[in-house]
Amino acid sequence: MNCSSLDLKAYIVGEASAAERQQVESHAAACAGCREELASLALTRDSLLMMRDEEVPRRIAFVSDQVFAPRWWQRVWRSGPQLGFASAAMLSAALLVHAFVRPMPASAPSLSAPQISQAQIEKEVDARVDLAVAKAVAASQAQQLSKTAELLQTAEQRYDSERRTEMAAVAGNLDILYKQVARSYAANNQLTGGQ
Amino acid sequence: MIFREVEDRDLIARARRGNVDAYNLLVSRWEKKIFNYLLRLTGNREDALDLSQDVFLKAYQNLARLDDVDRFSSWLFRIAHNEAYSLLRKNRPEGELVGDVVTAESSGRLFPIELTLAVDSALKRLSDDQREAVLLKVYQGFKFDEMAEILSCPVSTVKSRLYTALDLLKQTLAPVSASARGPKNVLNENLRGVE
Residue B183 to residue A49, Cβ atoms within 8 A: no
- Say how far apart CA B147 and CA B140 lie, in whole Å: 10
**A30 Cβ neighbours under 8 A, 6+ residues apart:** none
Residues in A touching B190 (Cβ below 8 Å)? 178-179, 181-182, 185
Do A18 and A47 touch, CB atoms closer than 8 A? no
List own/partner pairs for B73-78 with CB under 8 A and 24 or more apart.
Answer: B73/B30, B73/B142, B74/B142, B74/B146, B74/B149, B74/B150, B76/B30, B76/B34, B77/B34, B77/B37, B77/B136, B77/B140, B77/B142, B77/B150, B78/B149, B78/B150, B78/B152
Query: Which residue, A45, A42, A54, is CA-closest to B137?
Result: A45
Do A27 and A34 touch, CB atoms closer than 8 A? yes
**A154 Cβ neighbours under 8 A, 6+ residues apart:** none
Residues in A touching B124 (Cβ below 8 Å)? none
- Say how far apart CA A161 and CA A158 lie, in whole Å: 5
ipTM above 0.95, yes or no: no
- Say how far apart CA B61 and CA B53 lie, in whole Å: 12
Tens of each residue's pLDDT in chain A, 195 residues: 678 888 999 999 999 999 999 999 999 999 999 999 999 999 899 889 988 888 988 888 777 655 555 566 666 665 666 666 667 777 888 888 877 776 655 554 444 445 567 778 778 877 777 776 667 667 767 877 887 888 888 888 888 888 888 888 888 888 888 888 888 888 888 888 755
Residue B20 to residue A75, Cβ atoms within 8 A: no
Instruction: Tell me the pLDDT tens digit for each residue of B88-137.
Output: 888 765 545 444 433 333 443 335 567 778 888 899 999 999 999 999 99
Residues in A touching B193 (Cβ below 8 Å)? 182
What is the predicted pLDDT for the residue at B104?
35
Residue B18 to residue A163, Cβ atoms within 8 A: no
Residue B186 to residue A47, Cβ atoms within 8 A: no
Instruction: Tell me the pLDDT tens digit for each residue of B27-78.
Output: 999 999 999 999 999 888 999 999 999 999 999 999 988 988 889 999 999 9
CA distance B183 to chain A (A): 6
Residues in A touching B102 (Cβ below 8 Å)? 54
Query: Which residue, B35, B23, B27, B80, is CA-closest to A65?
Result: B23
